[in-house]
């Protein structure tokens, strides 16, 4: 299988990583994934290095890192910059915690509005719709 992974076309790499060819090209333009040299009269081949890099990018995205932040992490990927990487991760963790707090606030407001909607009887305006019109959040 390693021979197969060392001679992937861009389409094969995309399929192996479950992304589109255009995603790989975009990552290349952003400098996140290197573009291999094209042999004379041939097509570019991708190997384990590019596959690993693509998996790094996808995993970092799943953790909420932006492509810019992922680029920063890739620059620190030599084993000697753990402290700098930790600072980036701490910032991301802070952002995630802020988002969680905001989502909890949204949950509370929506829960209250749903309770108000369920409690209303008769032909009155909907509390949810009225709150949205007023900008109450």
State residue 104's pLDDT score. 97
Task: Please give the domain boundaries of the chain with CATH numbers for all domains.
Answer: 1-62 (1.10.1660.10)
State residue 4's pLDDT score. 54
| DSSP class of 7 | S
Backbone angles phi, psi at 95, to 5 degrees: -60, -40
Nearest CA-CA partner of 30 in 75, 84, 63: 75
Are residues 72 and 56 in contact, defined by beta-carbon separation less than 8 angstroms?
Answer: no
State residue 2's pLDDT score. 46
Backbone angles phi, psi at 123, to 5 degrees: -100, 75
d(CA 96, CA 102): 10
Q: How many CB atoms lie within 10 A of CB 131?
A: 16
State residue 120's pLDDT score. 64
Please list the residues that pair with 46 across neighbouring strands. 8
Are residues 14 and 20 in contact, defined by beta-carbon separation less than 8 angstroms?
Answer: yes
Measured at the CA of 28, the angle between CA 84 and CA 79, to 5 degrees, comes to 25
Token reading at 24: 């790989």
Splitting the chain (137 residues) into consecutive groups of 10 residues, what average pLDDT does each group show? 67 93 96 89 89 94 95 87 92 96 93 79 73 77
User: Taking the model in full, what pTM does it have?
Assistant: 0.74
Distance of CA 122 to the CA centre of its chain: 46
State residue 119's pLDDT score. 67
State residue 1's pLDDT score. 42
């Amino acid at each position: 299988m390693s021979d197969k992974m060392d001679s992937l076309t861009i389409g094969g790499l995309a399929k192996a990583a479950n992304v589109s060819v255009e995603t790989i090209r975009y990552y290349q333009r952003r400098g996140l994934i290197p573009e291999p040299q094209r042999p004379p009269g041939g097509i570019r081949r991708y190997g384990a290095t590019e596959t690993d890099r693509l998996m790094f990018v996808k995993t970092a995205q799943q953790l909420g890192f932006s492509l810019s932040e992922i680029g920063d992490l890739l620059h620190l990927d030599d084993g000697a910059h753990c402290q700098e990487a930790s600072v980036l991760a701490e910032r991301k963790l802070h952002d995630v915690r802020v988002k969680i707090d905001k989502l909890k606030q949204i949950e509370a407001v929506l829960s209250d509005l749903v309770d108000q909607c369920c409690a209303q009887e008769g032909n009155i305006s909907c509390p949810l719709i009225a709150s949205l019109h007023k900008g109450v959040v």
